[in-house]
Structure 1
Amino acid sequence: MWAQDRTRVLGSGHGMLWHVPADYRHFRSSTVGCPVLMGRASWESLGGALPDRANIVITRTPGYSAPGALVVGSLEEAIDEGVSAARRDGAPTVWVTGGGRVYAEAMSVVDELVVTDLDLDVVAGGWGGPVVRAPRIDPELWAVDETRSDGDWRPVSGEARWRVTTWIRRR
C-alpha cells in the first residue's frame, strides 16, 4: 500500500511531502489490526510504532533497535513473521508499507497493490530535495480491480484530490 504524486514520488526518504488527511485515515482504517512491514528509513520517518498493528522493520543493520517493532534482516523474513502475526491475530492482510526499495522488492511476491494517486506534483510544486519513487506497475503483470478502485477523484483533502486503485496480479 502506498500513496504517490503524479510522478510516482512516495516521499523524501525521510518523511511525507504532502498533507492529505483523508488518505491518512484510509491508510489507518485499512491497516489497523494487520501486520505492517517496512524498511528502516520508513520506520524512522514514522518516529515510532504504528498503534494497533504488528510493526515489522527490515534492516541489514546488526543490532538495530526499533522499540515496539520486530526487527528482521530481509523481506522474506518479514513476510514469514507477518504471516505468522496475521494468523495469530486473525488479520486478513499483511501490508507492505514502504519504502521504495521494499516496495520494489515486494512486487514479485505480493498479490495485490493498493495505490493512492494524489493530484499533485511535489517537485513542480517546489520541493528541491531528494525523492523516493514508487516502482512502475507493469499492466502486463497487474490488472485494475474495478470493484475495489475509485472511478473518479475523491474530494480535496488537505492539499490534493486523491483516488485509490487496487491492482491484482494477473495469473
Structure 2
Amino acid sequence: MIIMIAAAAENNALGKDNEMVWHLPNDFKRFKQLTTGHHIIMGRKTFESFPKLLPNRTHIIITRQKNYHPEGCIVVDNMKEAIEKAPQNEDIFIIGGGEIYNLGLPFADKIELTKIHSTFEADAFFPEIKSEDWKLEHEEFHPKDEKHNFDFTFQTFIRK
C-alpha cells in the first residue's frame, strides 16, 4: 500500500523555509511508529532538513540534481521510479514535502494526516483532500496540553 503521511494545518500549511512551524511530540511518535521498518519517499529538501538518516527506514530521495548521492540512500528523479524501487508487497510511505505530496497523491491508497487545528504562514502546502476521492476512515482528537501548543487530530483517509 502507498501511504502519504503528513502533518498539516487547517490551511494545509506544511512548513516554512524547509522547517515545520509547530512541535507536536505525539505526532513525531506516530510518524516513527508508522514508518519504522519501511521505505520512505521524500524530496531532496525534506531529506536535507533531517539532522541524519532516520533509523530503521530505507530513504528514497526524489531530485532533479544529477550528481546527488547521499550515502545510504536510493536516489531517483521521479515518483514512479521511487515507488518501483520499494518492495511491492510492503507499505511505502511518502513523507514530503509539498511538491512530493502533489506528485504522490495520484499513486496513494491511504493518507495518514495529523491535522493541526490552527493556521500558519507557510511556503509548502499539503494537497487538498477531495471528498469525492477520499473517505475519512478514522479520526482521533487530541487537545493541546503542556507538551502540545495546538489541538490536533490524527486522521486516516482511504481512497474511494
TM-score clears 0.5: yes
Residue type matched to 1:98 in 2? Answer: G
Does 2:71 correspond to 1:79? no
Residue identity (%): 29
Contact 1:36 1:94 in 2 (8 A): yes
2:66 aligned counterpart, secondary structure: coil
Contact 1:56 1:69 in 2 (8 A): yes
Please name the residue that 1:138 is paired with. 130
> 1 or 2 for the larger relative contact order (CA 8 Å, sep ≥6)?
2
1:102, distance to aligned residue in structure 2 (A):
0.8
Higher strand share: 2
1:78, distance to aligned residue in structure 2 (A):
0.6
Please name the residue that 1:23 is paired with. 27
Q: Taking structure 1 as the reference length, what is the TM-score of the superposition?
A: 0.84
2:31 aligned counterpart, secondary structure: helix
2:135 aligned counterpart, secondary structure: strand
1:46 aligned counterpart, secondary structure: coil
For 1:41-97, what per-residue CA distance to the aligned partner results, in whole angstroms no more than 9, with x for missing partners? 11111133111100110001001022221111111111011235xx5xxxx410000
Q: Take 1:67 and 1:17, find their aligned partners in 2: how far apart are those partners?
A: 28
Could you say if the C-alpha distance between residues 113 and 164 of structure 1 is closer, same or farther in structure 2, counting changes exceeding 3 Å? Answer: same
Q: Take 2:42 and 2:74, find their aligned partners in 1: how far apart are those partners?
A: 11
Structural RMSD (CA)? 1.5
1:162, distance to aligned residue in structure 2 (A):
1.4
Q: Take 1:78 and 1:63, find their aligned partners in 2: how far apart are those partners?
A: 17
Does 2:40 correspond to 1:36? yes
Contact 1:49 1:67 in 2 (8 A): no
1:144, distance to aligned residue in structure 2 (A):
0.8
Matches within 5 A, 1:86-101: 87=89, 92-101=90-99
Gap regions ≥5 residues in structure 1: 124-129
Q: Taking structure 2 as the reference length, what is the TM-score of the superposition?
A: 0.90
